[in-house]
């Protein structure tokens, strides 16, 4: 069940919810960006919406921002972020590129954290 955050009505699927948004004269993009605002961790701009999964999985709008954030954020924070991302991906086994990605990810574990994040980010945005 998904609930409309505007009026509280419940729906069986995202599709039904998305169709219902017309009643509020809202586009799907507007709904998620206003009810579940997510911001780029580096420059604080709102996360661009392409699909629900992509929206909730993205912490950055561009790879450049991710790279800049890795360079400027405290090392501990970057490390924690990458570790959480790894755990997150493990829980989403149905992701199409998961297998290939996990190979890359495991290999990247032996390299710098920065590179690992970059791989993750690629996987999230394809
Ligand atoms: Zn509603």
pLDDT tens by residue, 3-37: 999 999 999 999 999 999 999 999 999 999 999 99
Q: What is the DSSP letter of 97?
A: T
Q: How far is the CA of 19 from the centre of ligand 1 (A)?
A: 10
Question: Residue 34 C-alpha to ligand 1 middle, in angstroms?
Answer: 13
Instruction: Give distance in angstroms: CA of 55 to centre of ligand 1.
Output: 20
CA of 40 to the centre of ligand 1 (A): 27
Interval between CA 70 and ligand 1 midpoint (Å) = 39
Please tell me the distance between residue 97's alpha carbon and the centre of ligand 1 in angstroms.
34
Q: Which residue do the tokens 């954020």 mark?
A: 73
pTM comes to 0.69
Ligand 1 centroid to Cα of residue 18, in Å, is 9
Question: In the chain, which residues have pLDDT < 50?
Answer: 96-100, 103, 107, 110-111, 125-126
**Contact at 8 Å (CB) between 24 and 18?**
no
71-107: b (≥16 Cβ within 10 Å) or e: eeeeeeebeebbeebbeebeeeeebeeeeebbebbee
Q: How far is the CA of 95 from the centre of ligand 1 (A)?
A: 30
Q: How far is the CA of 72 from the centre of ligand 1 (A)?
A: 40
């Amino acid at each position: 069940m998904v609930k409309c955050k505007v009026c509280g009505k419940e729906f069986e699927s995202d599709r039904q919810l998305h169709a219902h948004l017309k009643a509020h004269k809202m586009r799907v993009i507007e709904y998620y960006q206003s009810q579940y605002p997510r911001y780029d961790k580096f420059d604080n701009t709102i996360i661009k919406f392409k699909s629900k999964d992509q929206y909730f999985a993205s912490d950055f709008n561009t790879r450049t921002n991710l790279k800049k954030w890795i360079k400027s954020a405290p090392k501990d924070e970057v490390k924690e972020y990458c570790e959480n991302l790894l755990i997150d991906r493990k829980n989403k086994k149905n992701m199409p590129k998961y297998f290939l990605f996990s190979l890359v990810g495991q290999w990247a574990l032996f390299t710098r954290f920065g590179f690992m994040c970059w791989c993750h980010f690629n996987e999230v945005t394809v």
